[in-house]
Amino acid sequence: MSPTKISTVQSLESLDALYQREMPNLDSSLAQAARYHFKSPGKFFRAQLALSSGTALGLNEQDNLHWAAACELLHNASLLHDDISDSSTHRRGQQSIHERFGLDMALCLGDWMVAKAFELAARNSTYGGVLSALLAQAMQETSSGQISDITQRQCADLDKWQRIAKSKTAPLLIAPIKGAGLAVGLDKIPGSLASLESLDKLIGLCALAYQGRNDIDDIIPSSRRSSDLEGRKPNLVISLFFQQGAGRDDFRAWYQSGDNLQLEHWQRRIACSDVILKANQSIDYWLIQAGQLVNLLPVQLQPVAHGLVDSVKQKTSIKKQGQIA
């Protein structure tokens, strides 16, 4: 195992130990639900972004760990609340919190995670206020994106789809990296603000690519009912078909009627149309653009950004190959 991988494993072990220490007290009703949730913790992707960024920038180990845990907890809080909004019965291979413990428990545990995230961020004695403000901004933008996704019932044009996709996904990916930079005073170095703006653009493009791939997966295979088409939710492929697909006038009439009797028919039409190719071309283009922005970042953060872009490329490539197979 390489030194980098050893360091990553050790950091994630430290993060897990921190979670065990910081979980709700055993006499709290939240304790059982919290431990159940973290039995299947996911990949700690946002925590890894924070840890890698902090290590590259020379952030001390304790502040780095607290910031990584804060970012990951805020993301997990958003998942608990999203599952309620989407009526999702499962998360990460097990029952969702609201399905197993009830809506009240899921709401309260999500709120507890938000509060704990802010507490952990505030433990940075020098930059606690700045980091807490960054978390607050990220959560506000994510919440706005989520409610736009839920309430958008007219087919979104491509510009609207991009705004919703970015605001749902990007803020909680930007915060781990940017926060590490702020925690070492990177914003005070001449020229650094422009590089941080490039980071926002880069991650926004990665968010578009990631969400675009999820949208394709919602339509293909057409043997599985599309939840986006059924719920009239923003979806890149549907927006493309709405504007450019063959038979779009009939599709628009059906879509706006709210009738789902012909859902399977239209899903098959969309899945077999050339808008799937156009969606894949857009994803490739966004990833190329993101890759070109890497060199505009501070040199210490360039490996982290490369890793993020490569990770999204790998996920989109694997899913695309699965469809072809």
Instruction: For residue range 27-71, list pLDDT tens digits in order.
Output: 889 999 999 998 877 788 999 999 999 999 999 999 999 999 999
Q: What is the band of 186 on the pLDDT scale with cuts at 50, 70, 90?
A: confident
Model pLDDT, residue 16: 86
Q: How confident is the model at residue 25 (pLDDT cuts 50, 70, 90)?
A: confident
- How far apart, in Å, do the first and last CA atoms of the chain sit? 32
The Cβ of residue 36 has, within 10 Å, a number of other Cβ atoms equal to: 15
What single letter denotes the amino acid at residue 156? A
What's the CA gap between 254 and 257, in Å, rounded? 5
- Residues 6 or more apart whose CB falls under 8 angstroms from that of 235 comprise 161, 215, 218, 219, 226, 228, 229
Percent of the chain with pLDDT over 70: 95
Is the pLDDT at 82 greater than 60? The verdict is yes
pLDDT band at 319, cuts 50/70/90?
low
If you write DSSP's letter for every residue of 129-149 in order, what string do you get?
A: HHHHHHHHHHHHHHHHHHHHH
CB distance 226 to 218 below 8 Å: yes
Helix ranges, the chain (H): 3-22, 30-37, 45-57, 61-86, 97-101, 103-122, 128-151, 158-169, 171-183, 192-219, 227-231, 236-244, 248-257, 263-271, 275-293, 302-324
User: Would you say residue 122 has pLDDT above 60?
Assistant: yes
Q: Which residues pair with 94 in a beta bridge?
A: 91
* Phi, psi angle pair for 94, to nearest 5°: -140, 170
pLDDT at 322 over 80: no
Q: How confident is residue 1, by pLDDT bands cut at 50, 70 and 90?
A: very low
Say how far apart CA 138 and CA 141 lie, in whole Å: 5
Do 173 and 49 contact (CB within 8 A), yes or no?
Answer: yes
134 closest CA partner among 60, 212, 53, 37? 53
Tokens of 249: 């006038």
Residue 30 CB neighbours (<10 A): 18
94 pLDDT higher than 60: yes
**Count of CA atoms in the C-beta half-sphere (13 A) of 261:** 2
Tokens linked to 302: 């360039």
Q: What is the rounded distance in angstroms from the CA atom of residue 287 to the CA atom of residue 283?
A: 6
- Residue 154's pLDDT band (boundaries 50, 70, 90)? confident
Overall average pLDDT of the 141-148 stretch:
92
User: Facing residues of 90 across strands?
Assistant: 95
Reported as a single tens digit per residue, the pLDDT across 257-289 is: 989 999 999 999 999 999 999 999 999 999 999
| Lowest-confidence pick of 5-9, 292-296, 321-325 | 321-325
pLDDT at 223: 82
Q: What is the 3-state secondary structure (H, E, C) of 61-97?
A: HHHHHHHHHHHHHHHHHHHHHHHHHHCCCEECCEECH
State the angle between helix axes of 192-219 and 275-293 in degrees (0 to 180), rounded to the nearest 10.
160
Say how far apart CA 108 and CA 298 lie, in whole Å: 39
Q: What are phi and psi of 26, to 5 degrees?
A: -60, -25
Query: In this structure, what DSSP letter does residue 208 have?
Result: H
> Is pLDDT at 6 greater than 90 in this prediction?
no
